[in-house]
Amino acid sequence: AATMFVNNDYGQALSESFVGAFENNDGTVQNQVSFEKEQPSYTSRLETALGDDPDLLVVIGYPASGVQIFRDYYADFSSDRDIMVTDGLKEASLPGDVGNDMANVLGTAPLASGPQNDAFTQMYQDEYDREPGVFNAQAYDAAATMILANVEGGENSGTAVRDNMRTVANPEGETVGPENLPEAVEMVSNGTEVNYAGASSSVDFNENGDMAAVSYEIWTFAPDTDSGFEQVTTIEFGSQ
């Protein structure tokens, strides 16, 4: 395998994580190549990444750079090679912008599968007239949990928010979520115990402050569908 990653914290961290996991499972990573955002050509970086003819190319970046990367790739390299991309390249318009159906590309992304995801999705569509993006549900849940923890803590400080995240999000208490967040804020301010169940997940935290469980999806581009994607499978990870 080879990785080609945007030269920032996001790209470097994901490339390193992939390399570690791949090698721990007896895989060999031949090249790790960084690139700068939004360059006029990526042919030379692709040539370096693919110099040892890897079976798999992992591309970590964003759509603005991804369009040119994949235009250059399909112009000079085999469309039979497996390519994996990360969540930053989950953009429905990418195949059209590239001019290729990108059938050899497989992607990963966090999955929004919380108990109130349907309610959140409907509210988002009503407000913006489009479906939520990759991280919208997670971002909403993070903000909602911080708001509730802030109210529970009774002061505007990072310490108060930190110390009350589990209090408002973990089991025990009346279940609240995106569909009644303003009401939930009032409940907390009046001393009612709540359990925030979100759009992305149940939003339960373990003793380390990590999510107790998260879900990811494996997807492919599907330009002929309404969403532009086809879900291949889902994977759930639990933190201890």
Say if CB 6 and CB 65 are below 8 A apart.
yes
pLDDT of amino acid 239:
53
Instruction: Compute φ and ψ for 205, nearest 5 degrees.
Output: -105, 140
Q: For residue 134, what pLDDT is reported?
A: 87
| Domains present along the chain, CATH in parentheses | 2-110+213-238 (3.40.50.2300), 117-196 (no CATH)
Report pLDDT digits (tens) over 76-95: 999 999 999 999 999 999 99
pLDDT band at 133 (very low <50, low <70, confident <90, very high): confident
Q: What is the mean pLDDT of residues 113-127?
A: 96
- For Cα atoms 63, 66, 72, give the angle at the middle one, nearest 5 degrees: 155
Closest CA to 110 of 85, 135, 90: 135
Q: What is the pLDDT of residue 227?
A: 87
Q: What's the mean pLDDT in 175-184? A: 98
Token digits of residue 117: 């995801």
| Predicted confidence band of residue 34 (pLDDT cuts 50, 70, 90) | very high
> In sequence order, what DSSP letters do the residues of 200-212 get, joined into one string?
SS---B-TTSSBS
CA 134 to CA 67: how far, in whole Å? Answer: 18
Overall average pLDDT of the 94-117 stretch? 96
Decide if 216 contacts 109 (C-beta within 8 A). yes
Report whether 31 contacts 57 (CB < 8 A).
no
**CB neighbours (10 Å) of residue 182?**
8
Nearest to 169 by CA among 240, 114, 121, 122: 114
Is the pLDDT at 240 greater than 60? The verdict is no
